[in-house]
Amino acid sequence: MTNEATLRVENLQTHFDTKAGTVRAVDGVSFDVRQGQILGLVGESGSGKSVTGFSIMGLVDPPGRIAGGRVLFQGRDIAKMGEEELRQLRGNRIAMIFQDPMMTLNPVLKVETQMIEAVQAHGNVDRKTAWTRARDALGQVGIPSPEERLNSYPHQFSGGMRQRVAIAIALLNKPDLIVADEPTTALDVTIQGQILYEVQKLARETRTALIWITHDLSVVASLADEICVMYAGRIVERGSVDQVLDAPAHPYTAGLIGSVPSRNVKGTKLVQIPGVMPSMLNLPSGCAFRLRCTHADATCEASAPPASGDARQVRCFHPLTAVA
């Protein structure tokens, strides 16, 4: 076991060429995740967090493309891999869990089929062995009577159960990295809690690196070791959960924390971040957040703030707390 990062993303640029111009959905994102570590990737809709996830999977479809940077998985650059090489990694060493469990499983194939094929795609495993592994994986994520459930179709499962199936599929080949793209957003709060607990437990037990993409700060607060806050395709703040949540340095992070309802005293007005996320085709000059920021001045308009620091990072000319 080395200290080497499982995944190291360096200055990732994922662009979408549209008729209206190039959208820099991900614009210079860098972070890394180690074995057994949980990284929370937080941001609003359209901040580029999901595209970051798909870039790691090598699943960016045209008109999107990885325009620059490196995605080093165990030292190998995913951005430069061919389709077959990528396919062998996907679902094998890197797995992904999607947002909406109602949409991710194929409605016309049995759960059994969808699990066995995932095993057989990555090794010469006979059907019976693959079936046994599928059954064990279902049991592992807390699905009662897995033998029977394997023979069911997705529509015979509830939303929470389907997400468990999706997680079981992700776990089938004991991946080194799981990218979870808002996997609890579409679920009831109670189910959300159960899923969070299961995933955290599994990631710790198997020492799998986990990237948890979400817009919900309260979810990462209880789950992640480290947080990256994304805004308009960039990471604006990065640090350990305690650092970021207790002493946010970027005004955007502070705004996000302020708008979580449970943190406010009953009866007081909920703090909002003024304005809306700017269009990715038409970002303001300098700092992308400046039009919504109460601290913005002429410096912010002139140029984009560089990232300061290393493990604890912020992209702001006027950080709220000093960052080493």
Partner 1 sequence: MSVFIIRRLSQSALVLLIMSLLVFFGVFAIGDPIEIFIAADADQAERERAIAALGLDKPIWLQYFYFLANALGGDLGRSFVFNIPAIDLILLRLPATLELAFCAVFLSVAFGIPLGMYAGYRPDSRAAKTIMATSIAGFSLPTFWVGLMMILVFAVELGWLPASGRGELGTFLGIQSSLFTLNGLAHLALPALNLALFNISLVIRLTRAGMRENMPMDYVKFARAKGLTQRRVVFVHVMKNIMIPVVTVIGLEIGQVIAFAVVTETIFAWPGMGKLIIDSINNLDRPVIVAYLLIIVLMFIVINLVVDVLYSVLDPRVRLSDTGK
C-beta of 98 vs 317, nearer to partner 1:
98
Q: Does 241 bind partner 1 (CB under 8 A)?
A: no
What x-and-dash track marks residues 62-91 binding partner 1 by CB under 8 A? ---------------------x---xxxxx
Q: Does 105 bind partner 1 (CB under 8 A)?
A: yes
Q: Does 174 bind partner 1 (CB under 8 A)?
A: no
Spatial CB neighbours of 5, under 8 Å, sequence gap ≥ 6: 32, 33, 34, 72
C-beta of 176 vs 226, nearer to partner 1:
176
Q: Does 57 bind partner 1 (CB under 8 A)?
A: yes
User: Largest Cα–Cα distance of the chain, in whole Å?
Assistant: 67
- Least Cβ distance, residue 186 to partner 1 (angstroms): 11
CB 48, CB 230: distance < 8 Å:
yes
C-beta of 56 vs 241, nearer to partner 1:
56
CB neighbours of residue 145 within 10 Å: 10
Strands (E), 274-315: 313-314
* Best CA proximity match to 164, nearest among 101, 96, 93: 101
Q: Does 220 bind partner 1 (CB under 8 A)?
A: no
Residue numbers 108-167 binding partner 1 by CB under 8 A:
108-110, 114, 117-118, 121-122, 153, 155, 166
Spatial CB neighbours of 52, under 8 Å, sequence gap ≥ 6: 9, 12, 14, 26, 29, 41, 213, 230
On the CB side of 138, CA atoms within 13 Å amount to 25
Q: Site for partner 1 (CB under 8 A): which residue of 103, 281, 302, 311?
A: 103
What does the radius of gyration of the chain's CA atoms come to, in whole angstroms?
20
- Least Cβ distance, residue 271 to partner 1 (angstroms): 34
Q: Which residues form the interface with partner 1 (CB under 8 A)?
A: 57, 59, 83, 87-92, 95-96, 98-100, 103-110, 114, 117-118, 121-122, 153, 155, 166, 169
